[in-house]
Amino acid sequence: MKNLIRIFLEGIITNTRRILFASDRVTDMELRSKILEGRIVPTDKVAEVSCIGCGGCANACPTKAIEMVELPEPVKLMEGLVKDKIPVLDSLKCVNCYYCHDFCPLYALFGEAGTIHPNDVGIVDLEISKLLDEPVKISEDKIAFISQYLADSTILKKRKD
């Protein structure tokens, strides 16, 4: 009983200290000022230049958080491949499953960082035309598995049913 009262009192003291003095909070003063002054810049979710615009991420996303939007000017990536759309990720619909990243062909087929990421795509600096010329080094079944996700937006729905 004595112990319980001690734990209870310690809890009150710690929480009061946290509320009044913000001790041991993760959000530091610099970040708090940034939030209050509107200086937070949202992180990039798509590396637009390196993305090949295949639309696979939009097909694989289970919550339809990704929309492919038309580029003002289509970009020729290599002979026979023109990029005319890029993905836009809506963080409010995203459930952080990472399907978009993990099924992005640049990651899934070539083992490079995917050009889309639910949190922050970071720096993706790829020479796309060179990369697409490289042979894909994964098994036929894996390619078949990945391509069905990328090509058919009803797959995830079917798996859930």
Binding residues for ligand SF4 (CB under 6 A): 46, 51-57, 60-61, 63, 65-66, 87, 89, 94-100, 104-106, 114-116, 118
Q: Looking at beta carbons only, is 12 or 95 nearer to ligand SF4?
A: 95
The nearer residue to ligand SF4, 25 or 64, going by C-beta atoms, is: 64
The least distance separating ligand SF4 from the CB of residue 73, rounded to whole angstroms, comes to 17
Tokens linked to 26: 């993760």
Distance CA 68, CA 151 (A): 14
Q: Which is nearer to ligand SF4, 66 or 78 (CB)?
A: 66
Distance CA 117, CA 53 (A): 14
**Least Å distance between CB 2 and ligand SF4?**
50
At 35, the amino acid letter reads: I
Q: How far is the CB of 101 from ligand SF4 (least distance, A)?
A: 7
Q: Which is nearer to ligand SF4, 34 or 77 (CB)?
A: 77
Nearer to ligand SF4, 33 or 96 (CB): 96
Residues 6+ apart with CB under 8 A from 139: none
Q: How far is the CB of 122 from ligand SF4 (least distance, A)?
A: 13
Q: Do 28 and 15 touch, CB atoms closer than 8 A?
A: no
How many Cβ atoms sit within 10 Å of the Cβ of residue 12? 10
Give me the least distance between CB of 1 and ligand SF4, in Å please.
Answer: 49
- The total of other beta-carbon atoms located within 10 Å of residue 140's CB is 7
Tell me how far apart the alpha carbons of residues 59 and 64 are, in angstroms, rounded to a whole number.
8
